[in-house]
Amino acid sequence: MMKRVWRIPEKEAILQRFSEDYRKCYTIGRGSANALWIRGLAGKASSSQSAWPRVFTLFADKCCPADSLVKQDMREKVSHLKDELLAYSGDAEKIEKLLADRGVLLFNRYADGSAVVELLNQLKSSPGLALQAFDWRRRQLDYRTPMTVEEYSKAIVVAGRLKNVDLAAELFKEASTKRLKSTSLYNALMTAYMLNGLAVKCQSVFWDLKMEATCTPTIVTYNTLISLFGRLMLIDHMEATLREINDLDVCPNVGTYNYLIAGYITAWMWDDVEKTYRIMNAESIKPDLTTHLLMLRGYAHSGKLDKMEEIYELVKGHVDRHGIPLIRSMICAYSKSSDVNKVQKIEELLRLIPKDDYRPWLNVIVICLYAKEDLLDEMENSINEAFECNTSVTTVGVMRCIISSYFRNNAVDKLANFVSRAECAGWKICRSLYHCKMVMYASQRRLIEMERVLSEMDKVNLNFSKKTFWILVKAYTTWGEKDKCQQILGMMCRHGYGIPING
């Protein structure tokens, strides 16, 4: 190999430049020194030197792992700082002291802002703390290591996630004053407005970007617009943005299609969801995890169980660990279906949801599922869970679904217990609850208990209806209680209900 190098034209000049570059880089950190040395040689070597690229490749291959190690080391240091910040979350004084002790050295070492950006990324679940750390860096270190456009851009997006659009606009203005304008800065402010549904402001920033002489909209810019319009169900605007992308010969990426699919799902335009997915595959843009998760949600909401299950198999590992909202959507899809195995499938999905991730509406769906399937014990277990979690059912339809199951199972004592608990828990009270008890007591010739139900109705301020009297007439007639039957018929006449045909 060395013989090949010596045969390169102008070898003395190249070796001299090599020596100079090496001396300049020696005092820098090992990983950054390698990267700077390679960039220097690549820029200065003549393109006519055919042997040089082969030599350059040999050295470059050896330097990439070092650069990767430097980044990994940075991420680990940032991760330690993040953990300590989270431990002090809510204590501004301790956070400031920690940043002063640990942050100064870390942020100064990575003057390109990469450490700050990484910290904001790792604090994604705590945006308030992320902005607190960013604000400290901006106040304390800007004079020593000037802020970068990447730091501002990331902080603007974080401010948007916190719904603090005024702060986002302030940071944008501050960065612009420092002549840090770039497409990424405009994209960040557009994203902040998009996250808060501010269509007019987002579009205004887009037009400002198009007027900026030194910046040009990118596919990220257009993706932000598509996402904005999709969230607001402005489908015409979303599709117009896609046409502009095509007219400008800007290459759409997987994010473009994901935002289109998300927009169509929000508008419940299922045919367009599938059409976009097919176009995506036809254009050789490989669907990613986000795409499959969106399609899973779309198929669940549209009730296309076969396709839902097909997509679920592709992303099952991720959904089972991290996709609890999608699992709930699948449970809803099964509960509305006629799938013969839906109870088993729903129970398998329910086991994936942590006990502390309780949702009242999902509990009610499960109660209705068991009620319709006449699985009385399972229904009562779910009802008990609802009582324990102080869940209140406020719809008549759900209450009728429950009592119908008790009726079909001829479980009047269990129904009576349920009605009593429902009254105390503030659940929706309706005549159907009491009428069902009356009918079931009458069917078992428990007439005294049937009559007590009238007192219960009076206690909860439910007036007797024509159906109430009719149930009494039917019960007394069936069991030969003629005197009582005549009394009820008289009461019906006084209330203006008339006498039943078979009375």
Q: Would you say 337 and 352 are in contact if contact means Cβ atoms under 8 Å apart?
A: no
pLDDT of residue 251: 92
pLDDT of residue 144: 81
pLDDT of residue 502: 57
**CB contact set of 143 (below 8 Å; sequence gap of 6+):** none
pLDDT tens sequence across 425-480:
999 999 999 999 999 999 999 999 999 999 999 999 999 999 999 999 999 999 99
What's the average model confidence in pLDDT over 320-343? 95
Confidence of residue 34 (pLDDT cuts 50, 70, 90): very low
pLDDT of residue 37: 32
pLDDT of residue 497: 79
pLDDT(402) > 90: yes
Nearest partner of 5 among 60, 52, 40, judged by Cα: 52
pLDDT of residue 284: 82
Produce one character per residue of 172-202: b if its CB has 16 or more CB atoms within 10 Å, e if not.
Answer: beebeeeebbbbbbbbbbbbbbbbbebbebb
Q: Would you say 180 and 152 are in contact if contact means Cβ atoms under 8 Å apart?
A: yes
pLDDT(499) > 90: no
**DSSP structure class, residue 424:** H
How many CB atoms within 10 Å of residue 38? 19
**CB contact set of 73 (below 8 Å; sequence gap of 6+):** none
What's the average model confidence in pLDDT over 89-99? 90
Mean pLDDT of the chain: 86
Amino acid at 308: M
pLDDT of residue 44: 39
Query: How far is residue 120's CA from residue 123's CA, in Å, rounded to a whole number?
Result: 5
- Tokens 């390109």 locate to 112
Produce one character per residue of 119-136: b if its CB has 16 or more CB atoms within 10 Å, e if not.
Answer: bbebbeebbebbbbbbeb
Confidence of residue 53 (pLDDT cuts 50, 70, 90): very low
What's the average model confidence in pLDDT over 87-96? 89
How many CB atoms within 10 Å of residue 50? 10
Name the residue with higher pLDDT: 221 or 496.
Answer: 221
E strand or H helix that includes residue 97 = helix 92-98
Alpha helices by DSSP H, listed for 389-502, are 396-408, 412-425, 431-443, 447-459, 466-478, 482-494
How many CB atoms within 10 Å of residue 249? 6
pLDDT(45) > 50: no
* Candidate from 141-155, 232-246, 435-449 with smallest mean pLDDT: 141-155
| Count of residues in the chain | 503
- CA 239-161-301 angle, to 5 degrees, is 50
Q: What percent of the chain has pLDDT over 90?
A: 72
Q: Would you say 308 and 338 are in contact if contact means Cβ atoms under 8 Å apart?
A: no
Amino acid at 492: M
pLDDT(105) > 70: yes
pLDDT(16) > 90: no
- Report the SS3 class of residue 339: coil
pLDDT of residue 115: 93
60, 62, 64, 66: CA torsion to nearest 10: -140
- CA 266-159-203 angle, to 5 degrees, is 55
Classify the C-alpha dihedral 96-98-101-106 as positive or negative: negative
pLDDT of residue 160: 96
pLDDT tens sequence across 370-379:
999 999 999 9
- Report the SS3 class of residue 31: helix
Nearest partner of 114 among 49, 197, 35, judged by Cα: 35
**CB contact set of 9 (below 8 Å; sequence gap of 6+):** 48, 49
pLDDT(501) > 90: no
Query: How far is residue 312's CA from residue 329's CA, in Å, rounded to a whole number?
Result: 12
Work out the burial of residue 305: count CB atoms within 10 Å of its CB; fewer than 13 is exposed, 13-18 middle, 19 or more buried. Answer: buried
Query: How far is residue 9's CA from residue 322's CA, in Å, rounded to a whole number?
Result: 59
pLDDT(2) > 70: no
Confidence of residue 413 (pLDDT cuts 50, 70, 90): very high
pLDDT tens sequence across 277-321:
999 988 888 999 999 999 999 999 999 999 999 999 999 999 999
pLDDT of residue 23: 41
pLDDT(488) > 60: yes
- For helices 199-211 and 183-195, what crossing angle results, to 10°? 170
E strand or H helix that includes residue 292 = helix 289-302
Instruction: Tell me the two tokens of residue 57.
Output: 């490749």
Instruction: Tell me the two tokens of residue 201.
Output: 């402001």
